[in-house]
């Protein structure tokens, strides 16, 4: 195994360890969006919201309703089989196939970003209205592929519109994610989101299977996706701590004892 591959595997094991609430990787700063790219994404999202219908996280039966949404939370699911932004039916099925970004010609900045991200499972625009929040909840970054390989499904956030009153909690660490920066956010941690301000908070959020190719794009030191620059400092320092005593949870896909040999996933 080369040193380069060892470094990538160390990222995977760090995500795994934090998934089981041990010292590990909870949040990393990865890329800066170039000013023109950020402006293009903002324009695309504004047009999308004017033309497409979102799903509402608090609606009965929504895939996010179990996480205790409060207030107006809109989700536009952009990677699916139907082309409808309110169709969240395949957001979490761990498949890269049978999904695509519709209307890419009308949203060139979003299309360029999606094209540069290999092995996406989903890609969403999440909007938290003023005072909106998701209660503490626990998902899982460690997954088992159809072939039996244990690996990582990683989640990434790119804030487009935010402010200091918007907070993200990860195992009690309080973070303020900055606009125009791509972050790894370990959703295996107990996490919550809240918008305590008077304006909307708008994030792009996507999940990727951590294949060798995807890990190379997101965590290596080679070229960044078009329109982005790799950050020099990956560590993200929490602004404060907060006790998290109760939360909703999904039963784990993989027990910790089964995740000792983490590996790159295959495409599925």
CATH number at residue 20: 2.60.120.330
Q: How far apart are CA 265 and CA 268, in angstroms?
A: 9
- 267 part of a folded domain: no
Per the structure, how many domains does the chain have? 1
CB distance 54 to 86 below 8 Å: yes
Q: What pLDDT is stored for residue 232 in this prediction? A: 86
- pLDDT, the chain, mean: 95
Residue 33 lies in a domain: yes
Of 1-10, 16-25, 125-134, the range with the lowest mean pLDDT is 1-10
* CA-derived radius of gyration, the chain: 17
Domain membership flag for residue 262: no
Answer for the pair 143, 254: CB distance below 8 angstroms, yes or no.
yes
In a domain, 27, yes or no: yes
218 lies in some domain? yes
- Whole-number Å distance between alpha carbons of 10 and 76: 33
- Residue 171: domain span: 3-255
Residue 35 within a domain = yes
Q: Which one has a higher pLDDT value, 68 or 2?
A: 68
* Rounded Cα gap, residues 132 and 236, in angstroms: 24
What integer pLDDT is reported at residue 246 of this predicted model? 87
Residue 37 lies in a domain: yes
Binned at pLDDT 50, 70 and 90, residue 4 comes out as confident
Overall average pLDDT of the 194-213 stretch: 96
On whether residue 144 sits in a domain, the answer given is: yes
User: Residue 78 pLDDT more than 80?
Assistant: yes
Q: What pLDDT, on a 0 to 100 scale, did the predictor assign at position 56?
A: 98
User: For residue 253, is pLDDT > 90?
Assistant: no
Task: Please state the pTM of the whole predicted model.
Answer: 0.97
> Residue 1 pLDDT > 80, yes or no?
no
């Amino acid at each position: 195994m080369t040193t380069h591959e060892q470094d990538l595997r160390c990222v995977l094991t760090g995500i795994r360890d934090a998934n089981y609430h041990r010292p590990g990787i909870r949040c990393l700063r990865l890329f800066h969006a170039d000013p023109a790219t950020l402006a293009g994404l903002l324009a695309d999202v504004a047009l999308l919201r004017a033309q497409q219908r979102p799903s509402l996280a608090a609606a009965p039966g929504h895939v996010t309703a179990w996480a205790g949404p409060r207030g107006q939370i809109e989700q536009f699911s952009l990677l699916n089989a139907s082309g409808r932004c309110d169709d969240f039916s395949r957001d979490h099925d761990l498949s890269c196939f049978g999904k695509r970004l519709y209307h890419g010609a009308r949203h060139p900045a979003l299309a360029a970003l999606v094209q540069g991200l290999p092995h996406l499972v989903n890609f969403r625009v999440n909007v938290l209205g003023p005072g909106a929040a998701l209660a503490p909840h626990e998902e899982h970054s460690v997954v088992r592929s159809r072939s039996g390989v244990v690996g990582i499904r990683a989640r990434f956030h790119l804030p487009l519109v935010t402010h200091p009153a918007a907070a993200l909690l990860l195992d009690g660490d309080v973070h303020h994610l900055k606009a125009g920066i791509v972050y790894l956010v370990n959703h295996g941690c107990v996490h919550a989101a809240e918008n305590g301000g008077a304006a909307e908070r708008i994030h792009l959020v996507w999940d990727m299977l951590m294949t060798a190719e995807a890990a190379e794009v997101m965590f290596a030191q080679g070229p960044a996706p078009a329109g982005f620059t790799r950050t020099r400092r990956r560590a993200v320092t929490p602004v404060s701590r907060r006790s998290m005593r109760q939360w909703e949870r999904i039963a784990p896909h993989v027990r910790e004892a089964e995740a000792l040999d983490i590996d790159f996933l295959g495409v599925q």
